[in-house]
Structure 1
Amino acid sequence: MLGLGWICWALVVSVQGERVVASFNDGWSFQLGEVPEPARYEPVKVPHDWSVAFPFSTNGTGGCTAFLPGGVGWYEKRFELPPAFRGRRVRIDFDGVYNNAEVWLNGKKVGERPYGYIPFSFDLTPFLNQAGENTMVVKADRSAYMDCRWYPGSGIYREVQWVAHEEVYVEQYGLFVTTVSNERVRVETTLVNDSSQAVALDVEIDLQEADGRSAAFQVSSVSLAAGERKQVVAFLSLPQASVWSPETPYLYRAEVSVQQELNCVDRVATLFGVRDLQYDPARGFFLNGERTVLKGVCLHHEGGAVGAAVPDDVWERRLRYLKEMGANAIRTAHNPPSRAFLDLCDRMGFLVQDEAFDEWFNPKDKKYNFNQRVTDERSIGYSEQFGAWAERDVKAMVLRDRNHPSIIMWSIGNEIEWTYPRYGNATGYWNKPRVANYYWDLPPHDLATRKEIFEATAPGEHVLAETADALAQWIKEVDDSRVVTANVVMPSVSYFSGYIDALDIVGYSYRTVLNEWGGEHYPDKLIVGTENWPQWNEWRGVLENEHIAGLFIWTGIDYLGESRSWPKRSTESGLMSTAGFRKPAYWFFKSLWNDEPMVRLNTQRLIDSNYKRVNGEIVENPDNPRDKKWWWPHLKRHWNYDQHEPIYVEVHSNCEEVELFVNERSLGCRVPMESEDRMVRWSVPFAAGALKAVGRNDGQVVTEEVLKTAGEPVGIQLSPDRRVVEADGVSVVHVEAQLIDAAGNAVRHVDQMVS
């Protein structure tokens, strides 16, 4: 048995020149209820997810959101203005409040934001008491407790900060750095003059190396009339720049100082990376001139037991394991992530597809995830707000995130065609009787028939292609340095409907069967697998087709929600568990994506496996075939069975040859590259002792792994992932607990309560 615990122990004030940026996470109180009562507030620290603190239950919950409750939450914070904030413009930044946030200050409504995954800000200046106490109240409304197809969390679940600056300042997200070439960058600074007087300014730009040394410096002079907003653009050279890549995630710092009469009136800074992105429809994705295949995973935003308010250290451990596996890319399914998550991707070297929405005008069914047009008051989602908020929300995502070098593409939506019936009708896959399998077969109708059926079906109130075009254009208005994609689930119709015309890159959702077809019929669009099964066939589809830029496995990590039946609370398609334990699929993809020699042993009773022994060979059992989609067999990591019982042994390895031993007796060699699915297998009569796999390259042993028969558990081995942790209220140490026997062997065949 293996267990995991979290130990959490608080954060941040930073001052940038004349601007003050400070954490606003402390000092909050919280209560649940339709109407707040002053006496019921209890202290909390944000980020805070109230739903995950409740027990799992079927009462007033749904499987889509992990059988955890919603409700209406109220946050209150009483504070006085610090001296550095008085007499200045004050803004508050929420990185995410789920859901339907409303904010009041001193009894007056400041604003609202329905979409729970999007950052938003308000100018507090007109509402503040310069002297004395201020009271802020934030309402988060998740009365629709099945408002998402996965677990979203509830409340102020991301960071909050506030900012004080003068009337002449750099606009929020107004510093934008882009790479012109690997030795030249463009710096765009948006200045605002909210004073009643014209001003003359000097804008100093300092590009700094990672160690703080200045790498380039430039000064521009500009004048602003009263009330004017103006962009200042400068080009700076960085000779022999260190480029950003997954292998070398080098970060520069751009600092902009705004000087008025030799006084600094504002100073802002951002990290950025120098990198060149190129997309070739015939040859794939190129980073800094080198073809780079995307070895990606899809990730939801929550962190398992900690819910949606995920400490940075939890994400760091998860991402570190994915990096060790060989992954170099992440798709943020199906919503914008936190700023802190993207900061980690920048530092650790991940390529990111930043996704905006799971639904547009038409709702998806959250309750059963099947009939995509069914909804009720319990499952009202973003589609209700899309028309009024989509432009503001997608631009907010891009403006906040556009300086992150990790982001290489924007996604405007996930599998949107499901909610537009004319798309599915035109494919022909769901005709009665069925003549083709959607997952494994080419479209049953020819192009002319698909077009005829599509045109004969009323488009409905909203035309998908027109919405896609609007979303793509809104993104380009604030960032034209990256491409736009979407997770397209019916490309055989979307190519000609106008939907894909709005995209720079086509994202295929479980459409590996169309890899060659898409390249042949629509060669002007690069394809990337934006959602793929964790199977060899999916990766082979990338290796065999140069016009496929890579893939994103569903999913890198198990996630809460999207469950159809109690008591199952999570979806287990991940390469890792919600606790961050690495599953067999993880090690299989490590054997495909990481060149460091490795072997990984897995065992299972042959009778429980998907295989049987026929004439001395291990073949798939047609009566119990292996799943070819999301689910992997429940393979074990132990060597404890009944004596002489037939045991199925599966080894994942990137070595040229693998030899298996039981108690030092060889059971022969296998070659992974000669296996149809790149795994090697044996059927072994169990004998207590040791099972060993040896990996060889060029005839030399380069790695091995041993599973030993364990005795009864007599102790627990605790393994922390760090020895020193900051007592700051936010840092985390993960402690793995492993049962061991008297000889110190891991006991993995026993599930035992520990007290």
Structure 2
Amino acid sequence: MLDSTRRQFLISASMTTAAAVLGTPVRADSVEAVDGTDEPVVSPKRLDGGWQFRQGPTSGQWQVWRAEENDEWHATGLPHCFNAMDACDPDVPYFRGLGSYRTRIEIANPFAQGRTMLHFQGAGQTTTVWVGQTLVGTHKGGYDEFSFDITDAIKGASPAETKGGIPVCVVCDNAADLERVPSDQSDFCLYGGLYRHVSLVYLPGLALETVHVLATLGTDGTTRVSVKARLYNPTRRTSSCEVATRVLDGAGQVVHESTKTLAPWDGFVELDDFSIAAAQLWSPETPHLYRCAVNLTSAEGTTRIKDKFGVRRYEFLENGPFHLNGKRVLLRGTHRHADHAGVAAAMSDEQVRQELQLIHEMGANFIRLAHYQQDRLVLDLCDELGLMVWEEVPWCRAGVGDEAFKQQAKGMLTHMIEQHYNHPSIILWGLGNEDDWPDEYPSIDKEAIREFMTEMRDLAHRLDGSRLTSFRRCDFARDIPDVYSPSIWAGWYGGNYRDYEASLTTQRGRVKRFFHAEWGADSHAGRHSEDPEAVLRGVARDAYTDERGLAYMKTGGPVRVSRDGDWSETYACRLFDWHLKTQEKLDWLTGSAQWIFKDFASPLRGDSCIPRINQKGVVERDLTKKESYFVFQSYWTEKPMAHIYGHSWPVRWGKEGEHREVLVYSNCEQAELFLNEQSLGSKKRDSQNFPAAGLRWDVTFAKGENRLRVVARQGGVTVTDQIELVYATEEWGKPTTMKLAEKRRNAESITVGLTLYDARGLPCLDARDTVRFSLAGGGRLIDNLGTVHGSREAQLANGRAEISIARKGGCVLGVTAQGLPPAFLEIP
């Protein structure tokens, strides 16, 4: 018997012995063979270890296997991204080309006529698989799951080839390809490599391939459940099948069972249709999940697919708002890219879990997965945590290409829907993003884009009539998707954030179902300002608030904060605060999704404070929280919290006796602030009292060291927070000197801090110079992480910077900045 704990055995793309790009959405990576006692005999093997990697082209498969000791190959584990450390290199663009992986696999298929599969949860961007000298097939697309049936290739391998195991070579190619989506103009890296899990799986000759479960909650409260399945039957087996369906609730109680006998079938066939009385509903507050198991037994063996599903009903009312299970819910969302410091797209399962948990703890109930199908673990966690999802295909900034381009885009939409059909968290199938981009390939052909978007919408409806489609930013086609998001970047790429509500109201009236995806601001972690709105005061009111042309660049056009502002955390928090208070009061608003949860790498962001990093996250690329994370918590969470703004602001400045604003972000009804243990009074929270919902105090700091403490209360619960800071009153002059000093060390690394000083030795607390670190001697810089503390080139944050060194003997750290003498620190 085979047991799959997932809804499908093999997901998406290639089952062939020819070099072809196919699109059969099947999955095989979670199955088990079990004996009569239902105990595992052989399980699918996740192939995380035993790989070697080589970057760059080879002369053919003969070169791959000619010398096991070839020093061009390096041992690696999976997941692996060959852009892990170059995506944000300040000197050279990230690598675009071929990367080869090789391994040897012992084969022990327990089925006499069974099939042996290699399953890929995703690989970038075009993947070709070889068994020995046999080309198995090619999959084009970096984000959907796919499998190769290697049964015949194994049989054709010679004894000499298979000594020590079946030789498998996987070649990943992320070089530019005009026939592949997404476009190279996309504002994210098109990573290469085996950056999701690969598994070896055994199937009998006749097996379940995919099971779809559709739960429909009627307006009268009744729930109908339809179970459909498709077979994997590559050699056209004809033995009859016994199909058993079993459904359990979250407590493990059986709510439905059935058995029937069928002849093998083609396509999707409905296996069962039944009702659940008084079904427990899925929602962000109570994400209840049912479990469905479908067993298929034939002369070939038994396969079982188990998956979870949820019962919910949602509706985007025309002209708003959004309803879930008959009640209005404000969608409080963010976005996610599969990108992380030090690994790029090859995030571990634990890193994925940590990120999704942080999103949940921030109070979000919605997430847009940008701009491609993501790892199934992400969707599983969204189901479990109660995060509603807009999942999207990567038709991004690309116009409409040739027939191969269109077929791939349609294929990826098909795969995404078929592979993630059962997730109750998914409420929107995103058809694409920003297909009105200047200079996109091959052109902005409005009629062609409208026609293709219509085809994509209709395909999504045919594949899944239970969900709506969505699109962001393509104004001339805004009437085509079921739900549309315009471009509104009030206070960043255009206009003043105080004009946000007016922009929402205008855009609401232009479509039937409105949602606001993408808004926010870049912020350089650790950079703060005593006057965050200095530039905003020069921006005209009632000006446009959309992102026009290439406004993300720091050239051209009228004054805008994205180009002319200080990129401080202080300004970003005020912008978020204003947007959140506005959204909270609009009873017609469906909701929004802030861009983006975590900083990520992009080849288009070379002039950011950290080169090649989009810094709009509320956490850094390594998940370190910025101050803005707590702004969202203060609006979106119920568990009492309080956070004094400025945990990463050790020195504030101003004249002696001058008032300085202190903000507390809290969801509590009342808070009291203490300065140096003296109460500054209590204030009540009012979400519409900007900023900080009225929890703000004008404070006169003592010169030198100060301590702030807040005590907040909500429903009998008390929470506290405190920070210590220095208040500087002397005015500094022009920077003249950089000084390096060791801050801390452990057995593995040494961390060094940099401070910029004027001629009198005063720290320049608002300096934003770009500095560059270098190292001579033993050890290496811990850099190219895309974080404030992990980049050899970055702008200063309030006159400070920091870098760490992996220890290996003595060394000398150097730092340079334009117009300043270099500084050095000898480290024993």
Same fold (TM over 0.5): yes
Per the alignment, in what secondary structure is the counterpart of residue 135 of structure 1?
Answer: strand
Query: Match for residue 311 of structure 1?
Result: 348
Query: Match for residue 127 of structure 2?
Result: 101
Rounded Cα–Cα distance in structure 1 between residues aligned with 2:655 and 2:231: 77
Q: 2:145 aligns with which of 103, 115, 119?
A: 119
More displaced, 407-416 or 156-165? 156-165
The answer to whether 1:475 aligns with 2:513 is no
Query: Match for residue 205 of structure 1?
Result: 245
TM-aligned CA distance change 1:147 to 1:80, over 3 Å: farther
Q: Is the 8 A contact 1:296 1:329 kept in 2?
A: yes
Rounded Cα–Cα distance in structure 1 between residues aligned with 2:248 and 2:429: 27
Rounded Cα–Cα distance in structure 1 between residues aligned with 2:323 and 2:45: 39
The answer to whether 1:408 aligns with 2:427 is yes
The answer to whether 1:418 aligns with 2:422 is no
Q: 1:340 aligns with which of 377, 388, 392?
A: 377
Where does 1:226-245 land on structure 2 (aligned, <5 Å)? 228-229=266-267, 231-245=269-283
Q: 2:204 aligns with which of 150, 154, 166?
A: 166
The answer to whether 1:686 aligns with 2:738 is no
Query: Match for residue 45 of structure 2?
Result: 22
Number of paired residues? Answer: 613
Query: Match for residue 92 of structure 1?
Result: 118
Q: Is the 8 A contact 2:281 2:312 kept in 1?
A: yes
Q: Deviations over 1:92-123 (max 9, x none)?
A: 32221112222222323222223212222223
Q: Is the 8 A contact 1:557 1:574 kept in 2?
A: yes
Q: Is the 8 A contact 2:111 2:204 kept in 1?
A: no
Letter in 1 for 2:247: L
Per the alignment, in what secondary structure is the counterpart of residue 712 of structure 2?
Answer: strand
Rounded Cα–Cα distance in structure 1 between residues aligned with 2:232 and 2:191: 36
TM-aligned CA distance change 1:111 to 1:642, over 3 Å: same
TM-aligned CA distance change 1:582 to 1:656, over 3 Å: same
Rounded Cα–Cα distance in structure 1 between residues aligned with 2:167 and 2:106: 9
Query: Match for residue 623 of structure 2?
Result: 580
Where does 1:425-444 land on structure 2 (aligned, <5 Å)? none
Query: Match for residue 502 of structure 1?
Result: 480
Where does 1:545-694 land on structure 2 (aligned, <5 Å)? 545-561=586-602, 562-565=604-607, 568-603=611-646, 636-638=648-650, 644=656, 646=658, 647-673=660-686, 675-679=689-693, 680-687=696-703, 688-694=705-711
Letter in 1 for 2:58: V
Query: Match for residue 34 of structure 1?
Result: 57
Rounded Cα–Cα distance in structure 1 between residues aligned with 2:238 and 2:30: 32
Query: Match for residue 5 of structure 1?
Result: none
Q: Is the 8 A contact 2:211 2:305 kept in 1?
A: no
Q: Is the 8 A contact 1:15 1:22 kept in 2?
A: no
Rounded Cα–Cα distance in structure 1 between residues aligned with 2:619 and 2:346: 19
More displaced, 651-660 or 318-327? 651-660
Per the alignment, in what secondary structure is the counterpart of residue 535 of structure 1?
Answer: helix
Where does 1:686-725 land on structure 2 (aligned, <5 Å)? 686-687=702-703, 688-696=705-713, 702-708=718-724
Where does 1:8-407 land on structure 2 (aligned, <5 Å)? 14-15=31-32, 21-35=44-58, 37-38=63-64, 39=70, 40-54=72-86, 57-61=89-93, 68-84=94-110, 87-129=113-155, 133=162, 134-144=166-176, 148-171=186-209, 173-181=210-218, 183-195=223-235, 198-210=238-250, 212-224=252-264, 228-229=266-267, 231-260=269-298, 264-359=301-396, 361-362=398-399, 386-407=405-426
Rounded Cα–Cα distance in structure 2 between residues aligned with 1:16 and 1:287: 40
Letter in 1 for 2:606: R
Where does 1:441-520 land on structure 2 (aligned, <5 Å)? 460=445, 463-488=448-473, 490=475, 494=476, 499-510=477-488, 513-520=502-509
* Deviation of 1:56 (Å): 5.3
Query: Match for residue 727 of structure 1?
Result: none
* Deviation of 1:411 (Å): 0.5
* Deviation of 1:551 (Å): 0.6
Per the alignment, in what secondary structure is the counterpart of residue 479 of structure 2?
Answer: helix
Letter in 2 for 1:554: W
Per the alignment, in what secondary structure is the counterpart of residue 84 of structure 1?
Answer: coil
Rounded Cα–Cα distance in structure 2 between residues aligned with 1:717 and 1:137: 40
Query: Match for residue 772 of structure 2?
Result: none
Rounded Cα–Cα distance in structure 2 between residues aligned with 1:175 and 1:49: 32
* Deviation of 1:27 (Å): 2.7
- Length-normalised TM-score, structure 1: 0.73
* Deviation of 1:211 (Å): 5.2
Per the alignment, in what secondary structure is the counterpart of residue 437 of structure 2?
Answer: helix
* Deviation of 1:127 (Å): 1.9
Query: Match for residue 20 of structure 2?
Result: none
Structure 2 alignment gaps of length 5 or more: 1-28, 36-41, 65-69, 178-183, 490-499, 521-574, 728-740, 748-788, 790-798, 808-828
- Give the root-mean-square deviation of aligned CA atoms: 3.7
Per the alignment, in what secondary structure is the counterpart of residue 314 of structure 1?
Answer: helix
Q: Is the 8 A contact 1:192 1:229 kept in 2?
A: no
Rounded Cα–Cα distance in structure 2 between residues aligned with 1:285 and 1:696: 32
Rounded Cα–Cα distance in structure 2 between residues aligned with 1:152 and 1:474: 26
Task: Point out 4+ residue stretches in structure 1 off by more than 6 angstroms.
Answer: 639-643, 710-718
* Deviation of 1:20 (Å): 6.0
Rounded Cα–Cα distance in structure 2 between residues aligned with 1:642 and 1:488: 43
Query: Match for residue 443 of structure 1?
Result: none
Q: Deviations over 1:273-331 (max 9, x none)?
A: 22222332244222222222111001111122321110121122222222122111111
Per the alignment, in what secondary structure is the counterpart of residue 341 of structure 1?
Answer: helix
Letter in 1 for 2:676: N
Q: Deviations over 1:561-602 (max 9, x none)?
A: 242227524222111111212211111111111133332112
Q: Is the 8 A contact 2:333 2:365 kept in 1?
A: yes
Greater relative contact order (Cα < 8 A, sep 6+): 1
Rounded Cα–Cα distance in structure 2 between residues aligned with 1:695 and 1:341: 34
The answer to whether 1:531 aligns with 2:518 is yes
Letter in 2 for 1:48: H
Rounded Cα–Cα distance in structure 1 between residues aligned with 2:597 and 2:627: 12
Rounded Cα–Cα distance in structure 2 between residues aligned with 1:704 and 1:460: 57
Q: Deviations over 1:437-486 (max 9, x none)?
A: xxxxxxxxxxxxxxxxxxxxx97386211111111122222212111001
Q: Is the 8 A contact 1:91 1:122 kept in 2?
A: yes
Per the alignment, in what secondary structure is the counterpart of residue 110 of structure 2?
Answer: helix
Per the alignment, in what secondary structure is the counterpart of residue 506 of structure 1?
Answer: strand
Rounded Cα–Cα distance in structure 1 between residues aligned with 2:91 and 2:251: 55
Per the alignment, in what secondary structure is the counterpart of residue 590 of structure 2?
Answer: strand
* Deviation of 1:135 (Å): 2.2
* Deviation of 1:545 (Å): 3.4
- Length-normalised TM-score, structure 2: 0.67
Query: Match for residue 18 of structure 2?
Result: none
Rounded Cα–Cα distance in structure 2 between residues aligned with 1:518 and 1:644: 47
Rounded Cα–Cα distance in structure 1 between residues aligned with 2:444 and 2:31: 52
Q: Is the 8 A contact 1:642 1:686 kept in 2?
A: no
Q: Is the 8 A contact 1:16 1:267 kept in 2?
A: no
